[in-house]
Structure 1
Amino acid sequence: MLMSSTARPAKLHYMANGFRVLVSGDHVVCAVSGEKIALDALRYWSVARQEPYASAELATKAALTP
């Protein structure tokens, strides 16, 4: 059985005003919660850490963690 390319996580390069898809997929995994985030719903990430976050609260939590 063939797997769809949309059933796997994407690899992204996070930039200040957006992101670039390096490896296609349909989601990324939140660096704090482990929750899957659909690419069209991704709003929060860290350029410095190159990590995605599922919410503003989780992004703030990550920023406050050394």
Structure 2
Amino acid sequence: MLMSNADRAARLHYMANGFRVLSPGDHVVCARSGARIALEDLRYWSVAAQEPYASPAIASESLRPR
């Protein structure tokens, strides 16, 4: 039986110029907002924190000291 990756969160390794899929899926979840991000729409992440972000504003906010 073929397994579908639809509606499954992927596990990724984030690198400076892209990411590598560790576990297949069709989306990731934003580390700050919890929003679902389709892999084809993923543009913002932190290599150091290994976290995806849904928007540039959320990515910038994650850089601020807490």
TM-score, with length taken from structure 2: 0.91
**Larger % of helix: which?**
1
SS of the counterpart of 1:60? helix
Tell me, which stretches of 5 or more residues in structure 2 are unaligned?
none
* 1:55 to partner: Cα distance: 0.3
Tell me, which stretches of 5 or more residues in structure 1 are unaligned?
none
Tell me the residue number matched to 1:47: 47
Q: How does 1:1-66 map to 2 (within 5 A)?
A: 4-66=4-66
Aligned residues: 64
Alignment deviations for residues 5-62 of structure 1 (CA, whole Å, 9 cap, x no partner): 2211000000000000000000000001000000000000000000000000000111
SS of the counterpart of 2:49? coil
CA RMSD of aligned residues (A): 1.3
TM-score, with length taken from structure 1: 0.91
Aligned-partner residue type, residue 13 of structure 1: H
* 1:4 to partner: Cα distance: 3.3
